[in-house]
């Protein structure tokens, strides 16, 4: 465990020394190495393989079904008149406000 910390502090110290050297003598300080560009074709192929593994045919079918249901619901809501839409909104708000509470117990009067 301490080797990890030692390596990290040495790396940070070396980076600080190089930064300071660049500030004091920009023409003599060692230049930081430019990151090597990744092989884009290999990266794209790797990502496509991950997507293919993640998106199974069953998952595609579920997503397509969910999209169809969502569109059907949107169409139904779009066809409502203003009064019905207002009632639906009021009912939804009331339901959400009372979602965590228990309904009041009804008392019977003799």
Give the pLDDT confidence score for residue 37 in this predicted structure: 62
Per-residue pLDDT reduced to its tens digit, 14-40 = 888 888 777 777 666 556 665 656 678
Give the pLDDT confidence score for residue 36 in this predicted structure: 56
Instruction: Measure the CA–CA gap between 24 and 34, rounded to whole angstroms.
Output: 21
Is the CB of residue 22 less than 8 Å from the CB of residue 29? Answer: yes
Handedness of CA 83, 89, 94, 99 (dihedral sign): positive
Instruction: pLDDT band for 94, please (50, 70, 90 cuts).
Output: very high
Is the CB of residue 90 less than 8 Å from the CB of residue 98? Answer: no
Per-residue pLDDT reduced to its tens digit, 42-79 = 888 888 888 877 778 888 899 999 999 999 999 998 99
């Amino acid at each position: 465990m301490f080797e990890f910390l030692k390596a990290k502090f040495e790396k940070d110290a070396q980076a600080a020394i190089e930064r300071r050297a660049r500030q004091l003598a920009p023409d003599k300080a060692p230049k930081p190495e430019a990151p090597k560009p990744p092989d884009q074709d290999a990266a794209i192929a790797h990502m496509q393989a991950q997507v293919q593994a993640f998106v199974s045919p069953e998952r595609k079918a579920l997503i397509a079904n969910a999209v169809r249901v969502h569109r059907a619901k949107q169409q139904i809501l779009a066809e409502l008149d203003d009064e019905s839409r207002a009632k639906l909104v009021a009912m939804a708000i009331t339901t959400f406000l009372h979602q965590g509470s228990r309904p009041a117990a009804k008392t019977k009067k003799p």
